[in-house]
Every structure is written in structure tokens, then in C-alpha cells.
Amino acid sequence: MAIGSLGPLPPPPLTLQQKIDLVGRKHRAVHSKMQQELDLNGFVYNMTDPESGTRIIRWLVQNGHLDSKSNFCDPFMGNGLLVHLVHVMTGVDSTGIEKDKQIYEAAVGISADLSNLGVIDPQHVHLTCGDCRYLSLARFNVFYLLPPWDDGGPDPMLVWDTITNMRLGAIMVLTHGINLSSCYYSPFRMERYVEKVKDIGGAEIYRRISIAP
């Protein structure tokens, strides 16, 4: 058969960097649309920027906290940026939980588009609409925590509920807005439940530990 009759060649597979760029572009586009169009009752939906997310994930991989045996969860996923980035950059199972139905549906739409583009494998990306306080977090061993800001910081009770639901040894990324040693959190004695692994600039890494005296 003549080569000319085989038709056009399929496009070359996407490189990792192209996939990361597509995730970032898609999330940025949906994020700005959501801010303009959704009725979020004045709630300013806050998204991690894709470059910071990528940098944090690289750090976790390079320092042995995220590998092929990991099971990642963002319990406050918003539109699922970290869920998609972790899966794309590592191939691991990645789960996101989001309480707000409109935001959850935006995340599902992004996932479908990324799947159609061949960026993610939908079998390894799991999105749930619900309140993370009432769902089991026991099977996850790496978390990213960026809860909604309320009155100058995230609700301490919500942070406490989430962290105490994690399994012992779980690694969590906290943004600098969640300073567990601040007076805001001191009534919860959060230092008894976590140990600090590292400040990586822009985020801090903690490990869930058994309750200290």
C-alpha cells in the first residue's frame, strides 16, 4: 500500500510540560469566567496559581513525599487545579472534594475537557461534591489544604476537623494563611496533632502525628 493512502499521521503525544501548561490555561480561563458569572453570594473564590501548584508538587516529589504509592486529596478543591496537576505530574490517583455545587460542576467540566484532550486519565481523577468534614479521609496520605478565607483566615474549627480526620503519617501542604501556632488556632492545640516538616516558601509542609501530650 502506498504511504500516501494512510491518511494524516496522528498528532504526537503531549509532553509533560504541554500537559501542565494545558491544565494551567484551562483552570485560569474557567476561574476568571466563574468570578464573573457565577452567583457565589459575594464569596471571592480563591485559586492557587498554577505555577505555585506546580512548584509545590515538584518539591513533594523531589523530597519523597509524593510517589507512585501515594493517594492525593484536596478536600477544598475549588475547581480542582491541584487534583489535576498532581495526577498529570505523577500519574497517581487524585481526589478532590468540593461543597459548592456550582464550583464542583465547573471542576467536572474541566476534568472532562482535559480528558478529551488526552491530558488526564479520568479513571485516576475522582471528584466528589460534599462536605469534607463528613467524608472519610482515611485512605489518603497526601493533602493540600486551602480552605475558604473567612474573617481574616480559614475557620479554625474546619481546619481542625480536617486535620484530625487524616490518618497518622499523612503529609499536608498548608498555605501560609494557616499558621497553626497562631493564637487563632491555639485553643485547638494543633501542635499536638502535627509536626512541621519544612517551610518551602509560600507554603508549609506538615505531617499528621499521633496525639502528643
Q: How far is the CB of 46 from ligand SAM (least distance, A)?
A: 4
Residue closer to ligand SAM (CB basis): 47 or 190: 47
Residue closer to ligand SAM (CB basis): 150 or 195: 150
Residue closer to ligand SAM (CB basis): 158 or 174: 158
Q: How far is the CB of 9 from ligand SAM (least distance, A)?
A: 37
Residue closer to ligand SAM (CB basis): 149 or 209: 149
Q: How many CA atoms lie within 13 A of 44 on its CB side?
A: 6
Q: How far is the CB of 2 from ligand SAM (least distance, A)?
A: 52
Contact residues for 118 (Cβ-Cβ < 8 A; gap 6+): 13, 14
d(CA 209, CA 115): 36
Alpha helical stretches, state H, the chain: 16-37, 50-62, 81-90, 101-116, 156-164
Closest residue to ligand SAM, judged by C-beta, is 78
Residues of this chain that interact with ligand SAM (CB under 6 A) are: 45-48, 74-78, 81-82, 97-100, 103, 131-133, 146-148, 158
Place of cell 459548592: 100
Give the rounded distance of the alpha carbon of 120 from its chain centre. Answer: 15
